[in-house]
Amino acid sequence: MKDVFRILIAPLVWFASFSAVYGLHGLMCGHEMSGVVFGLPLERAYLVAAYVCAIAVQMVLLVALYSSRIASPSPFVRFVSHATGWVGLIATIWSLVPVVFTTYCG
Amino acid sequence: MNALERHRKLTTIWASEKGFKGWFSTVNHTDLGRMFLVTAFFFFIIGGLLAMLIRVQLATPHSAFAGPEIYNQIFTMHGTIMMFLFAIPTFEGLAIYLLPKILGTRDLAFPRLTAYGYWCYAFGGSMMLIAMVFGIAPNGGWFMYPPLSSAIYSPGINTDFWLIGITFVEISAVAAAVEITVSILKYRAPGMSLDKMPIFAWYALITALMILTGFPPLILGSVLLEVERAFGFPFFQADLGGDSLLWQHLFWLFGHPEVYIIFLPAAGVISTILPVMCRTTLLGYGWIVAAALALAFLSFGLWVHHMFTTGIPHMGLAFFSAASTLVAVPTGVQIFAWIGTMWKGRPELRLPMLHLLGFFFTFVIGGLTGVMVAVVPFDWQAHDTAFITAHLHYVLFGGFVFPIFAGIYYWLPHVTGRRRFFRLGELAFALVFIGFHVTFLAMHWVGLLGQRRRIPTYAPEDGWTAINLISSVGSFVLAIGIGMILIDVILHVLTASRGRRNPWGAGTLEWAMPTPPLAYNFASLPHITSRDPLVDQPDLAVQLARGEGYLGTPRNTWRETLTVDIASGKPDMHVIYPSNTRLPILMSAVTGVFFVSLLLKFYWTVPVAVIGVTILVWRWVWGLGRGADLAPLPIGHGITLPNAGMTARSPGWWGSIFLLTANATFFGSLLFGFAFLWTVAPGWPPPVWFDPSMTELGAGLSGAIIGPIAMRLAKSVNSKGRSSITGATMSLFGAILVAVASAAMMWRTPSPVDHAYGATLFVLGGYGLFHAVLAMLMTSFLIARIVRGFTSAVRRAEFSIIGLWVDYTSVIGVLILLAAHLPGVLQ
């Protein structure tokens, strides 16, 4: 079961973070907010912070999947879990990048 | 014991009842797989005939062939049948037939569940057909959007047939998914570690996991819409705190993964057949596994791309547009791996290969138009036009029907033991290929010219006449081609001559047995050392027939197999299967009474059906387990294994884990719906909040804490050989407290017909009550088993299984009670 977990963890976390950021966006559009943080509107700052957190979690996962302490003893599972780890990271970066560029509630 | 004696004894043990009666009592995966496939193709023909009617209607402008009311039923039933009654059951049938054979075992994990799933499918599908015959078939389109499908705008019984019939059929899909997942993870030949699993098994595993997480949102949506229609709970009515967009979210949370649930098994068929047709091995096995996994996950992040025109903010659109373009990458990895496989091999243009080439050509076009509609501005233009209809047919026909035709021709010699005699198949392929592309290329074109999908007719001045006529002519060529395939297959089954074993020279295990296959698959179970066992051990079939594998000596009258450790493939449990029984068909019939009662609004028969199902389930599980300890049993090659009932992680435990995964997705979707309505729907906050009660909350939370602790205590005491009745009884008490708190919540919730808030709390309370009652029944069952001597320090499997359900009930009980009581406390 641990090997299955190693393979699935990064995409699962991507799905959770994707849903969370989408939910956060919906929540903020449903309840008007005001304020500025580091020169950014509060909504944008929250979304970018969530984006950075999501990427950071994926990077930690990827490093963990490569570490000898956590990686699977099976070369095949190691390969697939590394691949899905990269999928999680790239999917997070790509699918959530609109938080940086796009209008948030327009 | 020589091979013939072994064969005779195994046949006596494993055979289904002879003749017609055997259909109703068989639990054998080969029988049930064939029954699934035949039924699915029966529905395919019905769905195809409906498609012909659509094309007749659209062939000319101002067509008087069918009026709008009948036409609505025709296209709704076409989509519904193809998606729910053909595509998914075809995957289930293929997986049920094939998996034990390619995994090197004797049956699936839960044979009676396979039979129950089949009968639910057959009865649910029949309900839909009966509705069509009586002219009261669903008519709101295969995705049933409210408010069109609400009681106000669709007052008849048509929509109810869809909501209730499809939910009935989905029991079959979830049952099969649990079955397939546990079978692939645990029921493999010794030595078959994850890296040696046949590629089809990987695809089937991923698909089954997707069904477990993709179908519950639709089941929830169907339940909510039916409750709205029957009792007036306003989940989707904007003026009463509901939102019709909630349906779209729930539907497409299922609907988009559904596309990949259909494609991935077909990709498994391609990955299995292509290397054989090219006389080589699959290129990039690990990459393909990773790509299929990536595709499965990414497909859950695309659902809003079906909702680009609903007014969602730009950033929301951009998330899903980005994710939609991303799926092209893992799809591309698979396509290039298959091209690479062809490149390194020597492709032979035999009939299955022709269909695979048809797949490549068609699916790649469907994928590219998919990338087009993933781009928001293009989608705004093409949305709800015939272009979308054409795109989805390129994806589904290209990505599923061509590979399945390849699979039919590839495995037909296995099913029948015969070799093809007539040569209609090649001509049929040409007609199907040409007919398909004429039909749907034209449909792309007319869609870009502005023809909406689902329109019953159009005017000559629209300028679509010639294109529609071409499309209709193409569709009839396609239908003739499919008819010829059908005739070819029937002729093969009835008249072809005996073929040799493994006619394709394949390396996978399904060919290491006589064909047509025997009821027990393998006289003894193989030890696997590579991904293509028949290539490395050409005489494996003979060795297995001589009983040189595992479990080569039949014992008592047991239907025996063994399970393995998930990762390493090391044997870990000995399993005794149940034998033939009519219990599954009886239980699915009583389940059907439940659904038909809801449909016809005979509510007094609903509790009768519920009690009937409860009694049958009780009987079902009571027959499992043993009244005395069973010592570890020798399985051959000097290995002894404990029986599954003497372990903590029995097959029932694994089945519960994956059933609870689907259940948790259902519950998560319900919480999502609650949060969605709260934050997005107009008409909030509700006029009245739920009045919190510390007594009810305290009682419910106490029950949620007591239940799991007491069950752990019972388990621990049992493992020491002492009576565990006290712990089990305390656990029962905990479940009763959760039930009382949930029932009180339902009783006191603000009127569920006045606002979606009250309606959602009522459903949440109902979910909690249902699970608490389930936990009560389970713990009562455990107490009865303890009293009757079915448990001991060794026979401990039931504690682990029931413990899982008690834990789950506690977790959802706490969340439900907090969701109801906390807002009132915080006001």
User: What per-residue confidence (pLDDT) applies to B649?
Assistant: 92
Q: List the structure tokens of A98.
A: 């609109």
User: What per-residue confidence (pLDDT) applies to B212?
Assistant: 96
Containing structural domain, residue A13: 2-101
- Chain B residue with minimum CA distance to A27: B679
In sequence order, the 6+-apart residues with CB closer than 8 A to the CB of B611 are none
Q: Are residues B496 and B427 in the same domain?
A: yes
Q: Are residues B532 and B501 in the same domain?
A: no
B629 located within any domain:
no
Q: Are residues B509 and B541 in the same domain?
A: no
At B18-47, the pLDDT tens digits run 988 899 999 999 999 999 999 999 999 999
Q: Which residues of B291-319 are buried (b: 16+ CB within 10 A; e: fewer)?
A: bbbbbbbbbbbbbbbbbbeeebbbbbbbb
B78 located within any domain:
yes
What are the helix (H) ranges across B149-304? 158-186, 199-231, 244-277, 285-298
Question: CA-CA distances (angstroms) from residue B619 to A41, A58, B27, B593, B646?
Answer: 63, 48, 17, 19, 21
Cα B220 from Cα B198, distance rounded (Å): 34
In sequence order, the 6+-apart residues with CB closer than 8 A to the CB of A42 are A33, A34, A35, A36
Q: List the structure tokens of B680.
A: 């997005």
Q: Are residues B447 and B512 in the same domain?
A: yes
What is the percentage of chain A residues whose pLDDT exceeds 90? Answer: 56
CB B131 within 8 A of CB B444: no
At B364-387, the pLDDT tens digits run 999 999 989 988 899 999 999 999
- Chain A residue with minimum CA distance to B654: A1
B789 located within any domain:
yes
What are the helix (H) ranges across chain A? 2-30, 42-66, 75-95, 98-101
Cα A100 from Cα A40, distance rounded (Å): 11
Asked if A38 reaches chain B (Cβ–Cβ under 8 Å), the answer is: no
Cα B309 from Cα B299, distance rounded (Å): 20
Which residues of chain A are within 8 Å of residue B675 when distances are taken between CB atoms? 23
**Which of B576, B593, B610 is the last residue in one of the domains?**
B593
Helix pair angle (B111-133, B88-103), 10° resolution = 160
Containing structural domain, residue B448: 346-518
Whether A83 sits inside 8 A of B294 (CB atoms) is yes
Whether A87 sits inside 8 A of B290 (CB atoms) is yes
CB A10 within 8 A of CB A84: yes
CA B795 to chain centre: 32
What's the gap in Å between the CA of A14 and the closest CA on chain B? 9
Q: How many residues does chain A have?
A: 106
Asked if A100 reaches chain B (Cβ–Cβ under 8 Å), the answer is: no
Could you tell me the pLDDT band of residue B272, with boundaries at 50, 70 and 90?
very high
What's the gap in Å between the CA of B302 and the closest CA on chain A? 10
Mean pLDDT of chain B: 94
Q: Omega before B554 cis (within 30°)?
A: no
CB B243 within 8 A of CB B680: yes
User: What per-residue confidence (pLDDT) applies to B311?
Assistant: 86
B548 located within any domain:
yes
Whether B314 sits inside 8 A of A84 (CB atoms) is no
Please give the tally of structural domains in chain B.
3
At B218-232, the pLDDT tens digits run 999 999 999 999 999
A106 located within any domain:
no
Question: CA-CA distances (angstroms) from residue B113 to B171, B514, B581, B589, B612?
Answer: 10, 26, 11, 14, 17
Alpha carbons within 13 A on the beta-carbon side of B438: 20
Q: Are residues B481 and B548 in the same domain?
A: no
Whether A74 sits inside 8 A of B323 (CB atoms) is no
Q: Are residues B500 and B565 in the same domain?
A: no
Question: Residue B707: is its pLDDT beyond 80?
Answer: yes
A45 located within any domain:
yes
Cα B188 from Cα B107, distance rounded (Å): 10
Helix (H, G, I), strand (E, B) or coil at B143: coil
Whether A106 sits inside 8 A of B294 (CB atoms) is no
CB B235 within 8 A of CB B242: yes
Could you tell me the pLDDT band of residue B419, with boundaries at 50, 70 and 90?
confident
Beta partners for residue B720, in sequence order: none
Asked if A76 reaches chain B (Cβ–Cβ under 8 Å), the answer is: yes
Whether B316 sits inside 8 A of A25 (CB atoms) is yes
What's the gap in Å between the CA of A41 and the closest CA on chain B? 15
Report ipTM (2 d.p.).
Answer: 0.92
Interface of B with A (CB under 8 A): 185, 193-195, 286-287, 289-290, 293-294, 297-298, 300-301, 313-316, 318-319, 322-323, 326, 330, 566-568, 675-676, 679-680
What is the percentage of chain B residues whose pLDDT exceeds 90? Answer: 88
Question: Residue B778: is its pLDDT beyond 90?
Answer: yes
**Looking at residue B153, which CATH number applies to its domain?**
1.20.210.10
Which residues of chain A are within 8 Å of residue B315 when distances are taken between CB atoms? 25, 47, 98-99, 102-105
**Closest by CA position to A41, among listed A28, A52, A53:** A28
What's the gap in Å between the CA of B564 and the closest CA on chain A? 12
* Across B78-83, average pLDDT: 96
Asked if A32 reaches chain B (Cβ–Cβ under 8 Å), the answer is: no
Cα B300 from Cα B303, distance rounded (Å): 7
B630 located within any domain:
no
At B647-705, the pLDDT tens digits run 989 999 999 999 999 999 999 999 999 999 998 888 888 999 999 999 999 999 999 99
At B305-315, the pLDDT tens digits run 888 888 888 88
Could you tell me the pLDDT band of residue B716, with boundaries at 50, 70 and 90?
very high
**Which of B562, B593, B624 is the last residue in one of the domains?**
B593
Cα B496 from Cα B52, distance rounded (Å): 31
CB B181 within 8 A of CB B211: no
Q: Are residues B448 and B585 in the same domain?
A: no
Q: Are residues B503 and B526 in the same domain?
A: no
What's the gap in Å between the CA of A95 and the closest CA on chain B? 5
Q: DSSP E strands: which ranges in B495-599?
A: 497-498, 559-564, 571-577
In sequence order, the 6+-apart residues with CB closer than 8 A to the CB of B58 are B457, B458, B468, B471, B472
At A29-86, the pLDDT tens digits run 877 777 888 888 888 899 999 999 999 999 999 999 999 888 888 899 999 999 999 9
CB B397 within 8 A of CB B456: no
At B273-294, the pLDDT tens digits run 999 999 999 999 999 999 999 9
Neighbours of B583 (CB within 10 A): 19
A48 located within any domain:
yes
Q: What is the pTM of this model?
A: 0.95
Whether A2 sits inside 8 A of B567 (CB atoms) is yes
Please give the tally of structural domains in chain A.
1
Question: CA-CA distances (angstroms) from residue B613 to B14, B623, B778?
Answer: 27, 16, 14
Q: Are residues B242 and B193 in the same domain?
A: yes
Whether B316 sits inside 8 A of A26 (CB atoms) is yes
